[in-house]
Amino acid sequence: MGEQAVTGASPAQQTPDGTGEDAAATGSAPAGPTTAGMTADGAAGTTIGVPGAGMAADAGGPSTAARERTADIVPGPGGVMTDEVGVVTGELTLRTGFADGQVTLMVQYKDADEWYTVTGGRVALADAAGLDAVHGIAVALLHRPEG
């Protein structure tokens, strides 16, 4: 194989095509697929943006993957009402979870094993990208160490 001189060509034009000639010499881009040939669900479909990632993923709709955020909180007087055990007070950990298009707020006594669902703390959320905002609001509402 001979040497190829590259002078001022863009990186796409510097890539040799299947014959060993570089694309700049032939005047066209190399032929071939324009995608990696993979999809998230195994079928060709639409692409959706992945916020903050600078890329798109092939998918059939919004992600339903489980995600969560946690924060330590100290609720004000009256504590936090839960579905399972009623009011919990003191140092707690708040977990805001997203799964299957729904956000659920849960609390536990700090460093305990059991989690309790916050009464009224379950709501539909169309896009997991809103999880951080929902978690921030929940922390702001429930964390009242001064009373």
Query: What averages of pLDDT result for each successive group of 10 residues across the chain (147 residues)?
Result: 47 48 48 48 50 46 72 96 97 97 97 97 95 96 93
Q: Which two tokens stand for residue 15?
A: 């890539």
Pairing of strands 102-109, 86-88: unpaired
Q: How many whole angstroms separate alpha carbon 108 and alpha carbon 85?
A: 11
The CA-atom distances, in angstroms, between 139 and each of 5, 118, 142 are 61, 12, 5
Q: Would the CA dihedral through 22, 28, 31, 37 be positive or negative?
A: positive
Question: Which alpha helices (DSSP H) does the chain contain, by range?
Answer: 11-14, 23-26, 131-142
Model pLDDT, residue 54: 47
Model pLDDT, residue 62: 53
Model pLDDT, residue 63: 52
Q: How many whole angstroms separate alpha carbon 135 and alpha carbon 107?
A: 12
Model pLDDT, residue 147: 81
Q: Which amino acid is at 71?
A: A
Residue pair 18/29 in contact (Cβ under 8 Å)? The answer is no
Q: Give Cα 78 to chain centroid, integer Å.
A: 34
Residue 42 exposed, middle or buried by CB count within 10 Å (0-12, 13-18, 19+): exposed
Report which DSSP code applies to 22. B
Model pLDDT, residue 118: 98
Nearest to 128 by CA among 55, 48, 63, 38: 63
